[in-house]
Amino acid sequence: MAGFTTDIVIIGAGPVGLFAVFEAGMLGLRCHVLDALSAIGGQLTALYPEKPIYDIPGFPRIDAAALVDRLAEQAAPFAPRYHLSQRAHALAPTGDGGWRATTDDGTTIAARAVIVAAGAGAFGPNRPPLPGIEAYEDRGVFYFVRRREDFRDKRVVIAGGGDSALDWALSLAEVADHVALVHRRERFRGAPETVARVKALAAAGAIELVVPYQLAGLEGGDGALTAVMVRRMDGTPRRLEADALLAFYGLATSLGPLADWGFGIERGQVTVDPATCRTTVPGVFAIGDIAAYPGKLKLILTGFAEAACAAHAIYPLVHPDTALHFEYSTTTGVPGFTDAPGLDNA
């Protein structure tokens, strides 16, 4: 079991957690970052890496994966230590005003403060109840799309009636050999404009709408999918030849152990002071979608501002005898860059 000591433990390596590394680093604070996923980026990486985001200042349009890359690059000068595929299992006081986070594999990290940037908490897909589906997962059955190119020239069956299913049907229609969209109702739950685009492509023969049907079974061997069995609501069966099934039935989210750490919890979120992002537990802060306060806007850019507030509130906990003199980045610069006056890069 490994043990580490740092200034701040950040729980969650999504976009807001990554920006918190930068904000803390600009104040000279060191960070270790925990995440249950195997890669940084949170839901941006796991759910829609190739989807565009339009409300990031300075970027009229940026793909989610590109935003994660930029945030990682921005944090890199401050040498964060990432602990991926590790879930924060326990949090306990160290006795000197700090905290010790323990992961589910036994790694411990002692820090003066903790920032919880866990989004909606730990999440995973709602799996369709199909016998033997586990044998096909990540080979023929997928719950997330990480790269559209993985499905080029493939026969793809998409199951679901919400925005994710509709968006990926539109996107994969451009690269896949065939796209069949399966939904148990003839009406979809997505945005009206998106539904209209899907129906227009279906009328043109670019997408096949298989409605009202629901998933009934899988065919194949050694993890390779060859067909998806579906059934009408009246029991009529149908076989769809397929190389891949994308099942979009939403996510199951849970705060997990976080719910037992003594925070004020309100509708699955952690209540904080909006000025500092302090939780009801001294030395522990929450930012991003998991943080709640009156008037909160659940936007990435809101989380970025909260990261700055938390970092500044944490500084006196790490350096109680040193006054923090606020300076703009145009004055201080960033380690590794030479465009700031007076910055020593030797």
Strand partners, 209: 181
What confidence score (pLDDT) does residue 254 get? 65
What confidence score (pLDDT) does residue 342 get? 37
Cβ contacts of residue 321 below 8 Å, gap of 6+?
A: none
For the domain that residue 242 is a member of, what is the CATH number?
A: 3.50.50.60
- The pLDDT tens digits of the residues spanning 268-300 come to 789 999 999 999 999 999 999 999 999 999 999
Whether residue 22 sits in one domain with residue 112 = yes
Strand partners, 178: 155
State the average pLDDT over residues 126-139. Answer: 91
Whether residue 118 sits in one domain with residue 257 = yes
Q: Residue 77 corresponds to which amino acid?
A: P
In a domain, 340, yes or no: no
In a domain, 144, yes or no: yes
Whether residue 234 sits in one domain with residue 132 = yes
Domain with 159 in it? 127-247
CB 148 within 8 A of CB 171: yes
Of the pLDDT bands very low, low, confident and very high (cuts 50, 70, 90), residue 233 is confident
Whether residue 113 sits in one domain with residue 136 = no
Give yes or no for residue 9 having a pLDDT over 70: yes
d(CA 240, CA 230): 8
Give the global pTM.
Answer: 0.73
Cβ contacts of residue 332 below 8 Å, gap of 6+?
A: 26, 340, 343
Pick from 327, 304, 319: nearest CA to 21: 304
What confidence score (pLDDT) does residue 109 get? 97
In a domain, 342, yes or no: no
Q: Cα dist. 147→49, 76, 144, 175, 235 in Å? A: 7, 24, 9, 11, 35
Whether residue 305 sits in one domain with residue 257 = yes
d(CA 12, CA 306): 14
Whether residue 119 sits in one domain with residue 22 = yes
d(CA 22, CA 283): 19
In a domain, 164, yes or no: yes
What confidence score (pLDDT) does residue 123 get? 63
Question: Residue 225 is encoded by which pair of tokens?
Answer: 């999918």
- Structurally, the chain folds into a number of domains equal to 2
In a domain, 98, yes or no: yes
Whether residue 107 sits in one domain with residue 52 = yes
Give yes or no for residue 262 having a pLDDT over 90: no
In a domain, 280, yes or no: yes
Domain edge (last residue) among 201, 222, 247: 247
* Local structure of 147: helix, strand or coil: coil
Whether residue 269 sits in one domain with residue 228 = no
Whether residue 29 sits in one domain with residue 51 = yes
Whether residue 48 sits in one domain with residue 10 = yes
What confidence score (pLDDT) does residue 263 get? 85
Residue 247 CB burial class (10 angstroms; 0-12, 13-18, ≥19)? buried
Domain edge (last residue) among 247, 265, 282: 247
In a domain, 208, yes or no: yes
State the average pLDDT over residues 159-184. Answer: 95
**CA-CA-CA-CA torsion sign (164, 167, 173, 178):** positive
Whether residue 135 sits in one domain with residue 230 = yes
- Average pLDDT over the chain reads 90
Domain edge (last residue) among 247, 274, 289: 247
Give yes or no for residue 148 having a pLDDT over 50: yes
β-strand pairing of 8-11 with 113-116: parallel
Of the pLDDT bands very low, low, confident and very high (cuts 50, 70, 90), residue 331 is confident
Q: Give percent of the chain above pLDDT 70.
A: 94
Give yes or no for residue 345 having a pLDDT over 60: no
In a domain, 299, yes or no: yes
Give yes or no for residue 124 having a pLDDT over 80: no
CB 168 within 8 A of CB 161: no
Give, as one character, the DSSP assignment of residue 209: E
Whether residue 134 sits in one domain with residue 241 = yes
